[in-house]
Amino acid sequence: MIQKLHSRLAVSLIALAGATASAQAQVTVEFWHSFGGASGEALAEIIENFEAEHPEINIEAEHVGNYEDIVTRLQAAIPARRAPDAVILEVTRYGLFADRGALVDLTPYLDADPLRDDLYDFAREVGIYDGKNYIIPFNSSTPVLYYNRDILERAGITEEPELETFADVEAVARQVQDALGDEGVFGIAAPGQFARWGLVMGNDSNLIDPETGEILLDAPNTIEAYEWMASLVQNGLASVDAVTTESSGRDAFYAGNVGIMFNSTGNYGGASAAIGEDLAVRPMPCNKACSVPIGGAGIGILSTADQDVQDAAYEFISFAASAESNASWFATTGYMPINRNTPDQPVAAEALAEQPGIDTAINQLDFAQGRPRPPVVTWMRTSEYELWEAMALGQRDVTEALTDFAERTRTEAARLAP
């Protein structure tokens, strides 16, 4: 009896020792991200699936805010030694941290990962800065044009409208405004910054040349595009509220109070849920050129993380970029597939077949371009919001404002240059 008791005790002790060793082997990855609502729920599902397959790794995810909030908080956290282990970084802003040695070069990880061959070319390219790979894309996007069929029909537009040029878009917005303005409906939402960048590119220009780094904020076609965007507000076709708070234009579109909206394909899920079958999705206008920016963000790893944590973080990054994870993300949010095998997954194939317009951004990839990533881009984007507000509200002349802004951006680029 005593011998049996000792045997059971020995087994229990071995099991306890094994459980203790397992608990000690658990690695926690602190992960900052920017996703709320349905996108946050989709991310949580990916994390849950990952942890089920990798019980030795715990992803401690925290919703920090938008892309700008993440940059601000990370800038404070790094010198205070309170940085996370992994973080979502917008595709034009991560160069600021790569330049300072704050991010791990993921090239050795990716070179050894079969995932490398599965990624679309654009998905491999957007993570490269100064010859090294600092982020792996998670949510990739282009801007697209959304419109509400019901609103357009109520305004007398019963056929699918021409929306190829700025003039086409303005004509539709004006007809909506004239017919439904008294009901509190605006023709178009004032474009957010991502859409503004896209509209400049559709006017055959850019803010900063992604190849040469040339500042193009004062180029004639850039000025012309901003003048057109500002005129939408000044002529009453777009609400002033959406200038000072960019999300209000999106929210008004969701509420059925705006006819047309330029926004990220990542808003497809929210727009579809709000508008339903009346939602239409079209490519961005090709006013002088067919060209759109690639947006979204990728996951980077902080160089301050311990080696075992870096390894665990990359395991998660690779899992999140797999065809299975990317398919569920795409189907829920509308962000573009980054994995070549994503469209073949049942959930993605179903979304493509049953959700009209979800493929619009994918179809724009033929003329989509990556954007510049040097540190000055972060400064430029942060500064542009206030400048846009002044131009849209008629407080500053567009040519004067952009000429001055271009010079200040050149000065800042020179100051930040290594």
**One domain, residues 102 and 216:** no
**Residue matched to tokens 């724009």:** 364
Inside any domain, residue 412: yes
**One domain, residues 245 and 270:** yes
**One domain, residues 249 and 394:** yes
**One domain, residues 273 and 355:** no
Q: How many structural domains compose the chain?
A: 2
**One domain, residues 273 and 262:** yes
**One domain, residues 198 and 274:** yes
**One domain, residues 160 and 305:** no
Q: Report the predicted TM-score, pTM, of the whole model to 2 decimal places.
A: 0.89
**One domain, residues 205 and 272:** yes
Phi then psi dihedrals of residue 286, to 5 deg? -100, 75
CATH number at residue 225: 3.40.190.10
Phi then psi dihedrals of residue 137, to 5 deg? -55, 145
Inside any domain, residue 324: yes
Inside any domain, residue 2: no
Provide the residue range defining the domain that includes 108. 28-141+295-369
**One domain, residues 137 and 148:** no
**One domain, residues 39 and 50:** yes
Distances (CA, A) of 295 to 110, 177, 372: 21, 30, 11
d(CA 91, CA 266): 14
**One domain, residues 48 and 122:** yes
Nearest to 313 by CA among 127, 109, 128: 109
Q: List the chain pLDDT tens, one digit each, 418 residues.
A: 333 333 433 333 333 334 333 444 699 999 999 999 999 999 999 999 999 999 999 999 999 999 999 999 999 999 999 999 999 999 999 999 999 999 999 999 999 999 999 999 999 999 999 999 999 999 999 999 999 999 999 999 999 999 999 999 999 999 999 999 999 999 999 999 999 999 999 999 999 999 999 999 999 999 999 999 999 999 999 999 999 999 999 999 999 999 999 999 999 999 999 999 999 999 999 999 999 999 999 999 999 999 999 999 999 999 999 999 999 999 999 999 999 999 999 999 999 999 999 999 999 988 999 999 999 999 999 999 999 999 999 999 999 999 999 999 999 999 988 7
